[in-house]
Structure 1
Amino acid sequence: MIAQPSRSAGRRHMRELDRAESLRLLATVSLGRIVFTRHALPAVRPVNHLVDGEDIIIRIHEGGALASLAEPAEAPGVVVAYEADVIDPDTHLGWSVVVTGYAYPVADADDADRYAGLLPPWVGPATTGALRIRPDLVTGFRLEAQAPRPAQSV
């Protein structure tokens, strides 16, 4: 059976979000998707995160797909994108934010310990490090209900 699109939300419009609102919304959720390059191809992984100032912090597993992003050879950082959203499946209202920037390993031991306490892994094995994504470009939009047009008198 093919799902039929919901018509319950009526008309919608898309409103662009500024950087501050986009990052504020990103901080309200704990799950997003990181987009990176693996074997010269785009790869996407769902990960949990936290927002620290403007930086997005994610934990990584030793030997996992994201571990290569933390290798010292990548000292200048690796370009990644990070996306999170909350879109209601029935009304199709909500928001989406995309951050593009550089991912760096969290090298400071105190920061790494603090993030370990704040960002527990959702699945095993235990995480062994963390990445800090420094945003260069932050874009977002909100899908909102459009007010009905007033009836025109004749």
Structure 2
Amino acid sequence: MDQDGIRRPAGRHMWELDRAEALELLATVPLGRIVFTQHALPAVRPVNHLVEGEDVIIRIHEGGALASLAAPVDAPGVVVAYEADAIDPHTHLGWSVVVTGYARPVADAEDLGRYADLLRPWVGRPMTGALRIRPDLVTGFRLEAAPPPALAVGG
């Protein structure tokens, strides 16, 4: 236990990620969780994604919980958060990234076709659209093992 009486894992450090590194890491995993409002309450859904520039793209299908986020294209969008991570269940080392921003429907037919090819469906429903999350806030952290202490030289 440390001086505050809190038990903390030894030899581990948490580092804050900058925006660029956080987005780079987000692009290395195919799965994340979108946080949105459904019936005036917070809701979370696991989804697959791709990162294009700084934008996070997810697929939607008619009748799904996320279809309600497909506001008209000229609307400002819906505020959402998107989280993805890669944390080892045994060592508890890895990283986590959260993107907060506005989700808007993708309107370009060519982009929709490309996203339909790149984003694999989880259920047997056809993709009826895609959402583009444009990040306003990108936060993240990395949990790393601490290097072993340097040995004293000399005697």
Alignment of 1:87-102 (within 5 A): 87-102=87-102
Letter in 2 for 1:31: L
| TM-score, normalised via structure 1 length | 0.89
1:94 Cα offset (Å): 0.2
SS of the residue corresponding to residue 14 of structure 1 reads strand
Amino acid at match of 1:113: G
Counterpart Cα distance in 1 of 2:55 and 2:38:
22
Residues 102 and 40 of structure 1, relative CA distance in 2, 3 Å threshold = same
Change (3 A) 1:73 1:104: closer
Contact 2:73/2:104 (8 A) holds in 1: no
Compute the displacement of 1:10 (Å): 4.7
Cα RMSD of the aligned pairs, angstroms, is 1.9
- 1:56-109 Cα offsets, whole Å, 9 max, x none, are 000001011000100328811000000000000111100000000000000111
Question: What TM-score do the two structures reach when normalised by structure 2?
Answer: 0.88
Match of 2:56 in 1: 56
| Identical-pair percentage | 78
Residues in 1 aligned to 2:151 and 2:115: alpha-carbon distance in whole angstroms: 55
Q: Deviations over 1:114-138 (max 9, x none)?
A: 1111112122212211000000000
Map 1:26-45 → 2, pairs under 5 A = 26-45=26-45
Amino acid in structure 1 at the alignment position of 2:81: A
**Which residue number in structure 2 is paired with residue 5 of structure 1?**
none
Partner residue in 1 for 2:13: 13
Q: Give the secondary structure class of the aligned counterpart of 1:71.
A: coil
Runs of 4 or more off by more than 4 Å in structure 1? 151-154
Distance 1:73 1:38, change over 3 A: farther
* Alignment of 1:75 onto 2:54: no
Aligned to 1:3: none
Partner SS state of residue 49, structure 2: strand
21-30 or 142-151: which moved more?
A: 142-151
Q: What is the CA-CA distance between 1:150 and the residue it aligns to?
A: 3.7
- For 1:70 and 1:117, the matched residues in 2 are separated by 20
Structure 1 residue runs of 5 or longer lacking an equivalent are: 1-8
Structure 2 runs not aligned, ≥5 long: 1-8
SS in 1 for 2:22: helix
Q: CA 1:74 to 1:54, structure 2 compared with 1: closer, same or farther past 3 Å? A: same
Query: Take 2:12 and 2:74, find their aligned partners in 1: how far apart are those partners?
Result: 43
